[in-house]
Structure 1
């Protein structure tokens, strides 16, 4: 497919249920109304994860996690080689921090 010839993978976030102490639950309650963790992951076209960033509170916006992954060297985000891209959703770029 010519639309994806330079694409090396996809990036997205997902929420998983979290068990947190009652005093921390407010920060972990996201769009589903229950405590969750927001996890960002990148996978290649072999369905293998190439990057995972877990542990964010469920109330954290996807764009904040994406921005931090790009800006914080200790996360070791794997930037695509020159001329290659990762596909994602536009929602990551709708909110600025």
Structure 2
């Protein structure tokens, strides 16, 4: 029930949340000077949930907690630009991202050409995403 209510609320996001204009320059902040074409960052977040016993296997994450996985995208000021809730805890962050970017979705997450989002090492480097190299200390 909670996820249905949350999904209904988030269906209004197009009315209230706008993705950044890619022509806008990043803030004049030393943290961003190396990321000129970055629009922000994204990651998955696990939220504890209660589900019926029959569904616990799908919602059990790699740490054995019962959670739902939610994709969140933020701008330079850590304001949410896009949220995709409702994935079972067993779903990977990259699976939720691939679903968010599907062309057949009305609210598909789209990254303008030549721009990118910072991601953690759980994602792969590619067009639109900049991840750190694994096993490299920064």
TM-score normalised by the chain length of structure 1: 0.84
- Larger mean Cα displacement after TM superposition, 22-31 or 74-83: 74-83
Greater gyration radius: 2
Q: What number of residue pairs does the alignment pair up?
A: 94
Instruction: Give me the CA root mean square deviation.
Output: 1.9
The aligned runs of 1:1-97 (5 Å cut-off) are: 1-74=32-105, 76-93=107-124
Q: Structure 1: give runs of 5+ residues left out of the alignment.
A: none
- Is the Cα contact below 8 Å between 2:74 and 2:80 reproduced in 1? yes
Q: Which runs of 5+ in 2 are unaligned?
A: 1-31, 125-138
Counterpart residue number, 2:17: none
Q: Partners of 2:71 and 2:63 in 1: how far apart?
A: 17
User: Residues 60 and 90 of structure 2 are in contact (CA less than 8 Å); yes or no, is this contact kept in structure 1?
Assistant: yes
Following TM superposition, where does structure 1 have runs of at least 4 consecutive aligned residues deviating by more than 4 angstroms? none
TM-score, L = length of structure 2: 0.61
Bigger helix share: 1
Structure with more strand by fraction: 1
